[in-house]
Structure 1
């Protein structure tokens, strides 16, 4: 029987340069999608998949992330004195229990692989998950939950992938596959292949289930693209030792680290709220009519 996936790492130490100037003072992970930070959605995805302990890797100027997942006693008292007990109760229910979220500081911005390695002592010698906080993945069943189901059946390592248009494959980290008796396995990772050379149109979409041996590989990993410790470089070494299986995610994925992806995610999630959907639909229709009039003019 495969060990249960109990812990998840969320690397949240980046500067969020694509979302400047907003991220000059607010961590990109705390930018709100309607009325919840994008990071809150990612943490809840982990908990919904059965994760017991989420480890968030932060950096300088990110202490507000720790504050968000802590209980705010002053706010709680103020709300209750004002008779807003329903809101206070809702906030309490949404606050993770003691010990469910931990934080570790990445002291230097040395890449995704280094951020994952920074959390090694909190993970220990057991398989774990990694969730990128920029990628909001929406479906009836969470992406990580589906990956855990695959892991329970086969063990090993599992990476989430999605299909892109073939002409866009050069923009992503693309996987190549080989057949096996238990379904396809990943046998190659190519970062932004030259146009027309990609072996598939399946790209890595930001969720990983990894065996602890990855930490040893990351510790000795030489800097790669951008002079950083790249997780994909160590994954290439890992696949020579262990099976790495793809899980193709069938829902919607929004890159909330980009302005267009962030706005799209906000609109999508707002439209799922009955109290917001009608007014937003009217605004979108009005905007469409205005743009059509502008083009005609």
Structure 2
């Protein structure tokens, strides 16, 4: 049963959720509002997919949703749900909860531990929720099938745990816009399939580890808005799949000549660092650039 993109308004009828044979229900990208029905008598024993993203739902997420034993896809993002993310979740493959007002029942983000019971979980999105917790080591216990983790702008703190490198099938991870501190873990080198890594707008310190050069599948790397120091690793010039590189607003001081070997790079941001010297003529090697920002440094044009 699908009602997506029809500009429906009003509340979801409780009678829909009393259809015990219901397998798929979709009403995304409408103007539905109010609270979801939460009667303890609701039993959705056959529900496999629930798509309600981009509406105006509010209130807590009813427990019956998480008790649907066959539920594999739950998309409730871009609403106004509030309350705790439950600690009793199983069987999910895709979970989208971003852009709500959800939080964790504990500072250790205990819901992540419960999600480790989801053997085939591939996709997680909690971005733009006030989780207000410490990124725990338990994140490394998530499913080995995990491919996408989106936890940006969640007001999360602490360091990035080495255990995240256990998720060797990760393709994308975004932890941007949090309060993460410490250094960039060298253990990230184990994520050989990673195509997107965004750690921007945190409080990360130290130098950029050469170990990131092991991530040869990287398409986008964003480390901007931190407190990273010293030089850009020379081996970045070997990341031939890289198309977007953002290192602005750090405390970097040295650009390796090998960086200009990235002839297929599209977007390059080195702004607001401490680079000095003549504006590198080798930048002309980057024939397909569509966006470059070298502002707020101490470059000068050579004679």
Whether the TM-score (by the shorter chain) exceeds 0.5 is no
Larger RCO, structures 1/2 (Cα 8 Å, 6+ apart) = 1
Q: Point out the structure with the larger strand share.
A: 2
TM range (shorter): under 0.3
**Rg comparison, structure with higher value:** 2
Return the TM-score normalized by structure 2.
Answer: 0.21
